[in-house]
Amino acid sequence: MSPSMSTSSSPDSTSSLLTTKRDDDVFSFGLHDSYDEKRLQPVQPAIINHHHRQHQQQQQQQQQQQGQTQDQMKPPCGNTDALSLKTDVEKTALSITSQPSASSFEVVMQGEAVNPIYVEFMPGDVRNPRNASRLHKWTTTIIACSFTILAAGAGSSIALGFPSMLRDLHGTEEEGAATLSLFGLGFGVVPLLTAPLSEDLGRRPLFIASIIIFALIHVVAAEAKNMSTVILARFIAGAAGSTGATVAAGVVADIWAPSDRGAPMSLFALSAVGVAGLAPTFAGLIEQNPHLQWRWIQWLNLICSGAYAIVVLLFFNETRGDVILTREAHKLRKETGDTRYRARVEDERTSLRQLITTSCTRPLYLLATEPIVLSISLWIGVAWGVLYSQLESIGLVFQTLYQFNSAQVGLAFLPMSRNVKRIGPEARLYAAMVAAVLFPVGCFIYAWTALHSVHAWIGPMCGIFTFFVALFIMYLASFTYLADSYGIYASSALAGQSLCRNIMATIFPLFTTKMYARLPFQWASTIFACLATLLAVIPFILFWKGPQIRARSQFANKMLLRESQLLNPAPQQSPTSMSAPGPSKV
């Protein structure tokens, strides 16, 4: 059954539309901008929805039998001049089925048939995570931030179980501190691998693998017979839980435009910091019950993590645009047998060995060469070290000075989470400068109201409240600022920040107990307050010189250009203004 064709000629042949009829299907071959024959208006390039491979084979056989070297074409404006189509253009022609609305991908074809055919999102395609509905975006954001809640809760809650754990397992205070520190070490080191891998392999596989490991490792901790097992389990839990911080922040960067990231990043920061105060409250109540204590803190983490794993499996979809395009290209290659279909990112992908090397070195490279990443990481890193030191010191201070039991000590953590959510979502560098002042102020209040001569416990709690409000703003500012600076590679920048931050969180608790034992409480806390004061200038410097620093950063500019291209694809070139044939869209 031979297709019927008509031809026309024109000096510029790259703006024409060739239609062939076969039974009830219409196959369109669009070269650059095409025209609707009836309305004489430009239309979008044809949308990919490949028909069965047999149609292609039959068409190729017909062309070989007929020995066609040129096609006939009917121009949209009714011009009947003959148009000669070159053989190489024929070779790049791509058959498209009817019902084009079934798919929203487009192909960019370059040159000869041996060259790759790139699969890209069409403008407005809902399968592009950036084009999803706000309801879907918020659902995805809440699911991602929930992992952050679980990780932050598991990281801080164990401190309230130290008394019963050290008693049951005959552990020392140093081993108890190690369970807190090793969690932070795993939390900081592993993102060097997982965060960049999530950019190449996808967010969803990392989430699924991490939450399963995170849940199961709490079984090991709950059934531990010695402190070594608990310490090892805590390191693995921190490694698995790190996905809840770095990759979750990458999810926010995937689906939200920079101008819309304020509220989602605010929720993310609240999840990380606010729960650090809420989880110990419940842990303190469990520790106070002699029938539960530290083992049931681990069982509770298992129950929550298992429920969350089900939610991820059912409702969390891939958010990485490059990964979605790669999967679609693979699907097209499998269905059509044509190996030319590719996502652009596939041409940039290297071997597994090089991928792992890049995954481990890219965050370190950003941390070592990008002043923004380094300064923000140092600032938030010291704050995080102070946080973990305060987590360890709060029980000591309130039990020694005010004779609090475990449940009451847990309630002392409430100021960390109460009213933090009232901070506005626009807290970036403006709010960070305020937080830079509040942070050491809170540390000084906590230090100099925790005295034997001051019997009111409300003073240290006010210091804790001020300290954690400032920490929330700092955490939010650091993540939002880095996400805006490094766009689709935010996870790598945040992994470098996470490394610095969690190394501090690993080191500080190791000397906190001895420091508070050898120094008066107020002087031990004053040391942390002085460190916070020294680093308070960082957000002011970034606010003053940040634009110049960003302008000199080739890496940041490259990422912003890539993100801008994803958000605002170049408009189609008018056929009348083309000076030379370029890549063709089908």
DSSP string covering 454-517: ---THHHHHHHHHHHHHHHHHHHHHHHHHHHHHGGGHHHHHHHHHHHHHHHHHHHHHHHHHHHH
Contact 250, 257 (CB under 8 A): no
The answer as to whether 121 is a domain residue is no
Those residues with Cβ within 8 angstroms of residue 244's Cβ, 6 or more apart along the chain or in another chain: 144, 147, 148, 149, 150, 151, 152, 210
The answer as to whether 274 is a domain residue is yes
Q: What is the pLDDT of residue 345?
A: 81
pLDDT interval class at 19 (50, 70, 90): very low
What is the value of pTM for the model shown?
0.65
524 domain residue, yes or no:
yes
Asked whether residue 116 is domain-assigned, the answer is no
Gap between the Cα atoms of 235 and 214, Å rounded: 10
Same domain for 67 and 148? no
Say which CATH number the domain at 408 has.
1.20.1250.20
CA dihedral sign, ordered 82, 86, 89, 94: positive
- Asked if the structure places residue 17 within a domain, the reply is yes
For CA atoms 476, 477, 480, 483, give the dihedral sign. Answer: negative
**Region 479-501 average pLDDT:** 73
Confidence of residue 446 (pLDDT cuts 50, 70, 90): confident
Mean pLDDT value across the chain: 72
Please check whether residue 114 lies inside any domain of the structure: no
* 294-310: pLDDT as tens digits: 999 999 999 999 999 99
Domain match, 82 and 140 both:
no
The span from the CA of 152 to the CA of 259, in Å, is: 27
Q: Which residue has the tokens 């592009």?
A: 128
Amino acid at 70: Q
Determine the average pLDDT of the residues in 509-535. 85
- 61 domain residue, yes or no: yes
Q: 59 with 95: CB under 8 angstroms?
A: yes
Same domain (yes/no): 240, 381: yes
Please tell me the total count of domains within the chain: 2
Which of 53-57, 209-213, 464-468 has the lowest average pLDDT? 53-57
pLDDT higher at 578 or 460: 460
**Whether residue 505 is found in the same domain as residue 458:** yes
- Detail the DSSP E strand segments found in 314-464: 341-342
Domain span at 224: 129-565
Calculate the alpha carbon distances from 486 to 29, 431, 489, 560, 563 in Å: 38, 21, 6, 7, 9
If you ran DSSP here, which 8-state letter would residue 537 be given?
G
3-state secondary structure of 95: coil
DSSP 44: P
* Helical packing angle, 429-449 and 538-552, nearest 10°: 150
- pLDDT for res 584: 33
Q: Is residue 577 part of a domain?
A: no
Q: Token pair for residue 465? A: 């409240």
